[in-house]
Chain A
Amino acid sequence: MRKSLLAIGFILILVLAGCSVAKQDSEASNDGTSTKDRTLVVDLTNEPANMDPGLNYNFDSFAVYRNIFDNLLSRDPASGEIKPWIAESWEQESETVWNFTIREDVTFTNGEALSAEDVVYSIERILDPTYKSPQAANFNIISSAEADGNIVKITTEQPSPTLLTTLVNLSIVPKDYVTEVGNDAFNASPIGSGAYKFDSWSKGTSIKLSANADYWNGAPDIAAVEFRFVANTASRVADLQSGKAHIITGITADDVPTIEDDAKLQVFSTPTERIGFIAFNMIDDTPTKDPLVNKAIAYAINYDSLIDNLLNGYGTPVTQVLTPLSFGYDRSLLGYSYDPEKAKELLAEAGYADGVTLELATSQNFDQRVVQAIQGDLAKVGITVKINLNDHPTFLQKVQDPERKWGSLRYGIWSCSCMDADGTIFPLFRTGTIWSAYTNPEYDALVDAARATTDPVKRLSLYSDALKILEDEVPGIGLYQVHALYGAVKELAWQPDAQENFFIRDMSWAN
């Protein structure tokens, strides 16, 4: 008996000791005498996989490490135009050779100067197969990069109209430091030239950054930042309401009323280049091989209701599988609008007057409410939709299997930070890509040519023709342009941009 009491007491001590492990000395978000020195607390959805710029490919990682590192180029938040950043100017020497002049006043936070060598190193690192960078595919078009003084000479394998957009996402890492400490240590203790320096990372809980007072573009307004990872949306909203967080990401339109009703809070939103779309399987033997069926579906969907009711108005209708923010968008195309009677007509014309059953493939990564809304709309014109929901890895395997036996239609969200038609309609619809379930040699020729020249006028005309083909054959339908949504406290001032950049240096306390 006494032994059991002893045992219980011992366990109690262990637990209390253990709890001190769990206790985080989270910097109280509302303390500090001066509001200017307040730490900004950000609630992200997921924890970044790591801090190494070359090894990441998701929003949550970008949100953190792009504050530690600088990118080669930037975009104007309002116009989307590509602007100088680390590269202060550039010129295209020939169709395949570009010269970038690097600023000479940038230093990494360990004191070392940023030079053209670091830029070259950053590129080569990503291209190195032993490094296993998921971004390698984007940079593959670069055949070589050389440093000459403060000039970086980049040669591409063929003329690349999207090189600049890729370089907007190139983060510069310090060559000397990385080669000295190795990749693992660099990941644990990253050093960059950005507006913020890395302080600490409590795995599973938060990452802390503090302002880089010597930042070449001027010290940022916000003195320190803490990124927390809160997977559940309702919890993030609760954190915002209780003051635990000052800005949260990954909210949906349904959360907006809750936030707007609170006088202390505000919602930031901006249209992005992400597009919600439906893609049809026109390769396998399914009813959607017939463009008439697809046109019928295009008429059957109530786009306005989708946007007004599901997205609470936070979406913009589109007339093609591309957003107006992307280069190549053709404003002369009219697209399809909601007309269920016409849909039924076309279905009858296609031979399905008595209805038809279609399989829809989707994954848990996509908003299932939209999927079910589509299902509901199609049911009203006589199309029964059977939903095949898998988790994302299974979905990818199914859809990317060359046999293309994944069903008749799928819903997804596509984004290409390149903001260029090449990044959207090429991988989605050109014959032979891992996603495309459509084949048309004429279309292929157009998009192939559009990516092989850097002449914008020529490209616009090629894309216009290509998009007309897409409108006629309907291998896909553009549903809506996605708006990015963030919840924040009223005292925070910020203008989000279409690329969904999360630069803390652009934020400030408004009082």
Chain B
Amino acid sequence: MSQGTTTEELSSLATVTSSKLRTPPWKRRWFVILPFLLILLLFVIISIAPGLFAKHDPIYTELGQRLQPPGFVDPNGLTYIWGTDDLGRDIFSRVIHGARVSLIVAVSAVLVSGILGGILGMLAGFYRGVIGTVIMRLADILLSIPFLLLAILTVAVLGPDLINLVIVLGIVRWPRYARVAYSATLATVNRDFVKASEALGARSGRLLFRHILPELIPPLLVVATLEVGLMILFEASLSFIGLGVQPPDPSWGSMMATGRNYVASAWWIATFPGIAIFLIVLSINMIGDDVRDRLDPKNKRR
């Protein structure tokens, strides 16, 4: 009894291409994806070991060298290849360190909402009745409230910090996974092998975890690949408004919020984080597309 389809659901179902017109995914030129995989790899490495790349301390303020353009060399001979921000901090180092924040938030948020939503959706689809109704109704309600508003209000209640940010994103996004898990559970429950198991006396727990859950993973993964990029964008948006990562810790979103006030005088403050966000989300979307294509059942039917 779900309320209606969402754009994401339709998209996820429909990034399919007809198998008759396309070469099968595994034969497609793999090197198209390669540059994006490399970017993603670079992103992960930077997140784990920012010190290898960032030459300056990202939070050290030096008011005497505020707003310096890219290539600035200070009296000690140190170069700031992407310039400094409004407190004299090195932009390059801050972008590097900001990668870690984006990665952590995106991955954690997807995990939290994915697991929460997946389990709730599965339970709703399996038990139906009151439980099912309540869960899906709650999901509908959460989906109807504009995300940004819900996020702002929740952050206002919990306080802005990294963990709360993940919680907020998890709370706001789980309905998307729940919906998918719910429909998939409904579809699976009627299939022969499940009914057979039931007839043989399998307990609910076993049914759920050994038979139904595995069937949910592909569609949930599809949603997850769509969501990772979105989570990075959302974290940036919240930080942009000032409710995400707190100063002096760098976050691409808050750097762009600062840079917005200096578009005419110090364009580098907003530009480099912007390019970083774009590259990462683009890579994730490209790779996600590829994963979705490979997972698509229509392509498997041969």
Contact = CB atoms under 8 A, between A and B. Distances in A.
Q: State yes or no: do A and B touch (Cβ within 8 Å).
A: yes
Q: Interface majority SS on B: helix, strand, loop or mixed?
A: loop
B264 interface: yes
B56 interface: no
A34 B2 CA distance: 67
Contacts of A234: 260-264
Interface of B: 60-64, 66-67, 86-87, 156, 159-160, 242-243, 246-248, 260-265
B159 A305 contact: no
10 contacts: A234-B264, A258-B265, A310-B66, A369-B86, A371-B247, A372-B61, A372-B247, A376-B61, A389-B242, A391-B242
Contacts of B260: 232, 234
Contacts of A373: 61, 63, 87
A375 interface: yes
Residue among B60, B64, B159, B261 with most chain A CB within 10 A: B261
B269 to A, nearest CB: 11
B156 A393 contact: yes
A305 B264 CA distance: 25
B186 to A, nearest CB: 34
Contact of A306 (B63, B247, B261, B264): B63
B60 to A, nearest CB: 7
A390 B159 contact: yes
Contact of A388 (B63, B86, B87, B246): B246
A393 B243 CA distance: 13
A250 B232 CA distance: 32
A368 interface: yes
Given A309-B64, A373-B61, 10 more contacts: A232-B260, A305-B63, A306-B63, A369-B87, A376-B61, A387-B246, A388-B159, A393-B156, A394-B156, A394-B159
A371 B247 CA distance: 9
Contacts of A233: 261
Interface residues of A, number: 27
Closest 9 CB pairs of A and B: A376-B61, A309-B63, A389-B246, A364-B242, A305-B63, A372-B87, A372-B248, A234-B261, A372-B247
Contacts of A391: 156, 242-243
B247 A389 contact: yes
Contacts of A376: 60-63, 87
Given A371-B247, A375-B248, A390 B60 contact: no
Contacts of A387: 246-248
Interface centre among B63, B66, B242 (most CB of A within 10 A): B63
A222 interface: no
Given A376-B60, A376-B61, A394-B159, A368 B247 contact: yes
Interface centre among A233, A306, A372 (most CB of B within 10 A): A372
Nearest to B248: A372
Contact of A309 (B66, B242, B248, B265): B66
Contacts of A368: 247
A238 interface: yes
A399 interface: no
Contacts of B86: 254, 369
A486 to B, nearest CB: 17
Contacts of B87: 369, 372-373, 376
Nearest to B152: A391
A265 B93 CA distance: 37
Interface string A344-387: 00000000000000000000100011011101100000000001
A373 B85 CA distance: 13
Nearest to A368: B247
Nearest to A393: B156
Contacts of A369: 86-87
Contacts of A389: 160, 242, 246-247
B264 A238 contact: yes
Nearest to B242: A364
Nearest to B159: A390
B87 to A, nearest CB: 5
A375 B86 CA distance: 15
Contacts of B242: 364, 389, 391
Contacts of B160: 389-390
A234 to B, nearest CB: 5
